[in-house]
Structure 1
Amino acid sequence: MSFLGHFQLLVFLYALLLLSAESRKTQVFHDTESNDDGEAGTRWALLVAGSKGYENNRHQADICHAYQLLRKGGLQDENIIVFMYDDIAFNPKNPRSGVIINRPGGENVYHGVHKDYTGGAVNVDNFFSVLLGNESGVTGGSGKVVKSGPLIYYADHELTGSYVSMPTGDGLYAEDFIKVLEKMNILKRYKKMMIYIEACEFGSMFDHFLHVYSVENLSALKGVN
């Protein structure tokens, strides 16, 4: 199955959970599992394109497509946070100005996407602040931060096996990412969390962490295109 196929399946299952909750006449955007204090947490999604430039248009296209799938699945825009440099839709190299497609002949997945962090605001410091719910730590963008354990989808190139890029500033290192996830666990910012990283081999860096902290990871494997 392709990366796109894997993500479509992931979002489909995520959407089923939302619709299942609605069918039981509960609030569709709340987790079915309660926290220790009995309060339900709101579902969140964090979508990140870690590249820029028209030659890397697929990453932002996949993020836009993911946004559309989540919206169709029932997730509110206020609970989806989008990081994308936003230099593709109106790029001079784009033969269809204002349009982004994620497959040949596909629909315009750019339409209606609410972009929270664009340009220079797409950086690792803002990414970490958003995950930690640190509103005072973000610079630029909408200022929106995650309020409870999210679905994280990160589309980018893998560069070293433990590092993926950001379009501005320093990249995202596995060691730093794990520290932030550990802090989230200590602060009880999630009960369960799913991380989907579309970058070759990067997922192996999380093996120990995933087993200990109730995090599920879907990522590219070596040799898979």
Structure 2
Amino acid sequence: MAVAEAPCPNPYFPLENGLKLTYRAGRSSELTLSTQGVTAVPEGVKGLLAVELKGKRGETEAFCTSEGVRTGLGGLEGTLLSASGMQVEVVSSEGVVVPPSVNMVPGSVWRNSLSVKMQPPESAKMPGMVIATTFDKEATVVGEEEVTVGAGTFKAVKVKNTTTARASRPGAKGRQIDSFIWFAPGVGIIKVSTGDSTDLELLKVDRPVAAQKAPVANKKATKKL
């Protein structure tokens, strides 16, 4: 009789205490995602997900449960916005960032939605201006691929995201964007691309010393730990 896999930690978005992922964002910027303060809760585990980009930092709570991984800022988009320098207020958030690992199979679909109010910092030219935006996303698992990034070569799950961004007002027309994201088991996000451009590419994986003995992806990636 097969033993059911525990839902947490989720291998495609591991909330591992002390895990730090360094990416190249765009052409030259460096972005880091790190998890801290991970503790067990009745539903699974929770921790703090922090992002740093161009000297700015944002953070949000993240939770892993039997329903998948979700964050207080509604996913990767909201977390990145928190490091943009804008003041971000979440109006509503539904759905998960990543479903349970058993659902990460070709053809699987999940949806999430995030509505936010963003306000430029006081030092901006238009302080006090409020931008209300809603992001509706549908994610579909395409299949498995072997992907080479700066951190090494990984066997990853490729997911297509169709995101519609629109002003949060009745009748507002949305702008639809298709992108792809690759998740490697035990690591998480290793690449994000829109069209022909790579938005995020994993450069380095840092883990606590106690966890480095466990295999992460492959030999090339391990050498960079």
Please identify which structure carries the higher helix content: 1
- TM-score using structure 2 length: 0.28
> What is the TM-score of this pair, normalised by structure 1?
0.28
Higher relative strand content: 2
